[in-house]
Amino acid sequence: MTTRVILVRHGQSTYNAQSRIQGRLDASVLTEKGSVAAQKVGDALNGLKFDALYCSPLQRAKQTAQIIVTYLSDPPKVEPSDLLMEIDLPLWAGMERQAVMEQFPQEYQTWHDSPHEFSMLVSTPEGEKQHFPVLALFEQAKQFWREILARHQNQTVLLVAHNGINRCLIATALGIQPQFYQSVQQSNCGISILNFTNIIPGELPKPADVQLESMNLTTHVGHKVPSVRPGHQGPRLLLVRHGETEWNRMGQFQGQIDVPLNDNGREQARKAAEFLKEIKIDFAVTSPMARPKETAEIILQNHPGIELQLEPEFCEISHGLWEGKFEAEIEQFYPGLLEEWKIAPQTVQMPEGENLQQVWQRSLIAWKQIVETYNHQNVTILVVAHDAINKALLCQLFNLPPDHFWNFKQGNGAVTVIDYPQGIEGLPVLQADNITSHLSGSILDKTAAGAL
């Protein structure tokens, strides 16, 4: 059984529109644009049944939640929670961002580049002390998970909150460290989905027990992918998983057996092509295997003149003697190993195949080479690969080891957006993950679970 948590950032606020820092200052309310976007969120969530709805007590989040519930057929009660309050930036709240950059240049640079080290000297009843806003927010997010997950096992919960706390909720669920706070994008009215299994009351989930199904979906508010941030000085990579194969559909392990797309997989590739049609693509790279290569070729039909480069290091994980087999057959020949793969994948050596450490190493080498080749260039690069490769790459964006392999879902035909705003010298930003709305019209990933 699974506990599903859907996170929404509030709609555009008056301070957002004025480029002011908000923090916990409650002087900001939704703009008309923000209210309209909240209505679109409600429409996108219509048809889902929620067992609980928690929101930040700040006006901009409460207003967003109150608009959303009017679109739900059986809405739960809106319950404010102080654990969903936005990041506390007392010395900056209410200031225009540009003024903060000018008045506090060193502090702002630390906030941007090393958020886990960023602090403010604040006055308390006990005297002045150093306040670490990001570290405090991470602890707040952990406390929220400890309380809420145990309370709502096997239920669906909606959270409406803020940019900072939503980042921290996603990060603490996945085991991402505070230094990557700025690497998780949350757009106004963006939707993110987390799935939890094997919840232990009072504890954070183990790596194999949490999955980011999708992150920062914005198609429902009219943005297929989040826009490039001002000052961006590096490449954007569109990471796509190949379309469905017949073996995906049947749950048969394929690995490096060169199984082609089935008809549904080609249709998924065509839908991905239509989704990316208006996005300028400058370069394209694919695994040389048939299923990603054909997916890439279909996408590039709308981008004539782009040469498709083949990267052998992006080939799918070698499952060795598992390839061609169904789960029941694997259990018969290798009892217990499949269960170990599901709960501790980092410990599994595929019989006559690879282990995840090998996949980690070869995929990262190829990925870094792409980023280095186009370093400090404002270009968009299409990369089409496989489930295991994409999972490995996403983990390594956040320096997560192979025991986090199951954290990131990658549906057939899904699109993920990764920016390098400061080039390879800076941290990457996961702008959106596992977009599949172009395949089904739903925020939920309805692609076949399939095998790797």
Both 284 and 332 in one domain: the answer is yes
Q: What is the pLDDT of residues 47-64, one digit of tens each?
A: 999 999 999 999 999 999
Place of tokens 């976007």: 37
d(CA 106, CA 309) in angstroms, rounded, equals 42
Q: Residues 118, 136: contact at Cβ < 8 Å?
A: no
245 is in an annotated binding site: yes
Both 187 and 250 in one domain: the answer is no
Q: What is the 8-class DSSP label of residue 79?
A: E
243 is in an annotated binding site: yes
146 is in an annotated binding site: no
Place of tokens 């409650």: 26
Q: What is the pLDDT of residues 367-386, one digit of tens each?
A: 999 999 999 999 999 999 99
d(CA 285, CA 373) in angstroms, rounded, equals 12
241 is in an annotated binding site: yes
Q: Name the phi and psi angles at 253, rounded to 5.
A: -65, 130
246 is in an annotated binding site: yes
DSSP one-letter string for 289-324: SHHHHHHHHHHGGGSTT--EEE-GGGSPP--GGGTT
Q: Name the phi and psi angles at 403, rounded to 5.
A: -70, -10
60 is in an annotated binding site: no
Both 203 and 340 in one domain: the answer is no
Domain total of the chain:
2
Both 329 and 213 in one domain: the answer is no
Both 68 and 13 in one domain: the answer is yes
291 is in an annotated binding site: yes
Read off the pTM.
Answer: 0.97
The CATH number of the domain holding residue 199 is 3.40.50.1240
248 is in an annotated binding site: yes
Whether 273 is covered by a domain: the verdict is yes
220 is in an annotated binding site: no
Q: What is the 8-class DSSP label of residue 408?
A: B
The two most distant CA atoms of the chain are separated, in Å, by 68
Both 214 and 244 in one domain: the answer is no
Task: Return the pLDDT at 122.
Answer: 86
Residue 288's domain spans which residues? 235-440
Q: What is the pLDDT of residues 320-353, one digit of tens each?
A: 999 999 999 999 999 999 999 999 999 999 999 9
Q: Is the pLDDT of residue 451 over 60?
A: no
Both 394 and 248 in one domain: the answer is yes
Q: What is the pLDDT of residues 15-24, one digit of tens each?
A: 999 999 999 9
> Vertex 365, ends 363 and 368: CA angle to 5°?
105
Q: Which of 163, 186, 221 is the last residue of a domain?
A: 221
Task: Return the pLDDT at 128.
Answer: 87
